[in-house]
Chains A and B, each alone.
Chain A
Amino acid sequence: MIVVIAIDALEYNLVEKFNYKNLKQEKYGKTDISEFSQPRTMVLWSSFMTGENKENEILALGDKKMWNYQIDIKDTFFSKFKNPKVIDLPGFSYDLDEHKKERELLKAFFEAKTQEEKEKIKKEYNQRSLEHHKKIKNEFEKAIKGEHDFVLGYFSAIDVIGHLNFGNKILMKMLYKDMDELAKKVRTLGYPVLILSDHGMKAIGNFGDHSEYGFWSVNFETNLKNPKITDFKNLILDVMKEKDKEFK
C-alpha cells in the first residue's frame, strides 16, 4: 500500500515552527507552484492527480462551476492501481454538498452585519469543519487497515478553519498536532507515505490567505528537489513499480 495524506493549506513555516516530526518525516520541503497564477485549491489538486497543469481548463469554468469539476479516474494516476481508495479529494471524490456549505458559511461570515452574527457564523463554520474532519479521519483510518494498494485522504480543516482563524495560533497548533498524530499512526504501519499540501497559508490579521508554495514530505528515499505539484504523479508511480518489483 502507498499512502498519501493530502492536507489543504499545510504551511511549511508552521510545520517548522511547531516542529512536528511526523509531518516532516524523513525528508521534507516546499513545493514550487509558481507556474500557477494563484494558489487555487481546485487547480492544484487537479494538476496533482493528472500530472498536468490544469489551470486554464479549470479557470475557464468560472468561480461557481469550478468547485463541481470532477476528473474521470482514467485521466488520473489512481487508475494505475488495482484497488485505490481516494477520500474526499477536490476534483475527484469531493463531498460537494459539504464543501459548498462551508463556502456558503464563509461568505455569510463576511456579509454578516454585526459582530454577534459573525461570531455565531464562525462558530458554526468551525464546528462543521471539525465534524467533517472527524468523519474523514475515521474513513481514512479504516481505509489504511483495508485491502487497498493506494489510499489518499484529503483533509481540509486546516484550510477551512485557517481562513477565519489563522491568527489564532493555538487553534492552528491544535489542528497541526492532530494531523501530526494521524501521520504517526500511518507511519507506524510501515508503508511509503507522502504528505502533501496544495499551498500554505499566510496571515492577514486573524484571517488566512494562501501562501505561494506547498509542503511535501516522504518517509522513503528520493532525489526529489524543489518539486512541482505535477511531479508527484511519477514519484508515486515509481514507488509503486519498486514495490511491484519487490513483490515479484
Chain B
Amino acid sequence: MEERLKIVIVGHVDHGKSTLIGRLLYDTDSLPESKLKEIKEFCEALGKDVEFGYVLDHLEEERKQGVTIDTTQTFFKTKKREYVIIDAPGHVEFLKNMITGASHAEAAILIVDAEEGVKEQTKRHAYILGMLGLKQVIVVINKMDLVDYKKERFEEVKKEIIEFLKSLNIEPKYIIPISAKEGDFIAKKTEKLNWFDGPTVLEALDGFSKSDELDKKPLRFPVQDVYNFDKRIIAGRIASGIITEGDEIIVFPSKEVTKVKSIEEYNKILKEASAGKSIGIITEDKVFVDRGDVITKKGEPAPIVTDTIKGHVFWMDPTPFKEGERVLFKCATQEVMCDIEVKRVIDSSNLEVLSEDATTIENRQVADVIIKTEKPIVVENFNDIPSLGRFVLQREDTCAGGIITGFGE
C-alpha cells in the first residue's frame, strides 16, 4: 500500500506560494483532466501554445473565490509516494488557520522571494514551524528569474535565512533556488541554474521519510477512555514506542504495575501494536485507570511527573492573557486547570523581545512561561516525545499552543 506525506507550504504573502502549488500540480500532471483539456483545446483552436500562466490564472481565480485552491487538486504524486498539500493561508488574519494546517503537516516548504528576502511573515511562519517541531523543512528561494538567476543573490538570501533559522533551531534539509513561474528546479533541473548542484524540490521531498522514529522511543500510551461493553478495555492511540502482549506496564502517574493480557481490535487480537495505532488493551489485573493516565513499559525510561513546566506558547486569541487568569491545560488526553507565570514576551513578526518579565501575552505574541498545573501531569520534553511535549491552552476555545522545554521552577 502506498504512503501519503502531508506537507505545508508557508511564507510571506506574494512570495509565490500559489505559483509553487500550481507548478507542483502542473509538473506532476495532477490537475483535473477536464480543466486542462479544456484549456488545451482552447489554445489549439486559437492557434496558441499552452502556457503555465493560464493554469496559474485559473488556480488564482479559484483562490480568490474563497478557496485557497480546490482541495481535490492538492494531491500530487511522484514515483516515490503521494503528497497532500494542507491548506495554510499566508495572510496574517488567518494565522490561526495557518497554524492549524501546519500542525498536521509532516514536512514543510518555506518560500522566500529572491528579490525581497526574509520578511515579516517569513519570520512568523518559520517560528511556527519550529514551534510545531517540523524537522523536515525545505527552504526555496523563489523568483530567481527576477534576479537573472544570479548565484550571488541566492547566496545572500541563503545566508540571511540560515542565520535566522539557526536562531530558531531549525536546520533546513535543503535550500533550493527556484522559479515556480518558469518551472526551474521544481520537477526538473534547468540550464539557467546550472551552478546549483542540489536537488529539485520534488527530489528533496522524496528524500523525506514518514517518521517512523516514534516506534523506537519508549512506550507512551495515553489513555483516552475505558470501556465496559463486554470486557473492560482501555482505549487509546499509541503516542510512541511499541506495546506487546505480555508486556509489564506501569500506569502513570499512579505507578501501578500490571501486564498486558491482550491487545484488542474489533474481531482481531494483535500480538503487538506501534506508534500511531488506535487500539484497546486488556490488563491482567484490575488496576485503576482513567482518561489522562499514561501507560508506559517497565524497563524503559520513565516519563516526567510534575506540576510545574517551562514552555513556549504562541498566543492566538484576540483577548490577551493576563497573569492571574486560569486556563485549561490540555496535553495528549490530560486536561487540568493551570496558572501561568509569564517571563519573556516576543513579537512573532520580527522576533524582537518586548519584555523580559511581562505579565500579559497578546494576540500573535510568543512567550516563555512557567505553567503550574492543579494536579501533577505526565509529560516529556518536546524534543523527546512530541505528543507528550506539546499542549494547548483553552478558554472556551483553544487560545494558545505551546511546547514543553523544561520542568520545575
Contact = CB atoms under 8 A, between A and B. Distances in A.
A126 B54 contact: no
Contacts of B58: 168-170
A168 B47 CA distance: 19
Interface stretch (B35-43, B252-260, B349-357): B35-43
Interface string A165-183: 0001111011100100000
Interface in B56-103: 57-58, 61
Classify chain B: how many residues form its interface, as a range.
10 to 19
A174 B55 contact: no
Interface string B5-45: 00000000000000000000000000000000011011101
B1 interface: no
Interface string B369-395: 000000000000000000000000000
B268 interface: no
A130 B54 contact: no
B46 A169 contact: no
A168 B57 CA distance: 10
A134 B45 CA distance: 8
Q: Which of A130, A131, A171, A175 is the most central at the interface, judged by chain B CB atoms within 10 Å of its CB?
A: A171
A248 B43 CA distance: 47
A171 B45 contact: no
A174 B41 contact: no
A171 B35 CA distance: 10
Contacts of B54: 170, 173-174
Contacts of A126: 41-42, 45
Contacts of B48: 174, 178
Q: Which of B43, B45, B48, B58 is the most central at the interface, judged by chain A CB atoms within 10 Å of its CB?
A: B45
B61 A178 contact: no
Given A168-B38, A170-B39, A174-B54, A130 B45 contact: yes
A92 B54 CA distance: 36
Contacts of A127: 41, 45
Contact of A131 (B39, B45, B57): B45
A123 B39 CA distance: 12
19 contacts: A123-B41, A126-B42, A126-B45, A127-B45, A130-B42, A130-B46, A134-B45, A168-B58, A169-B58, A170-B54, A170-B57, A171-B38, A171-B39, A171-B42, A173-B54, A174-B43, A174-B46, A178-B46, A178-B48
- Top 4 A-B pairs ranked by shortest CB distance? A130-B45, A170-B58, A169-B61, A170-B54
Interface of B: 38-39, 41-43, 45-48, 54-55, 57-58, 61
Given A134-B46, A168-B58, A170-B57, 18 more contacts: A123-B41, A127-B41, A127-B45, A130-B42, A130-B46, A131-B45, A134-B45, A169-B61, A170-B54, A170-B55, A170-B58, A171-B39, A174-B42, A174-B43, A174-B46, A174-B54, A175-B46, A178-B46
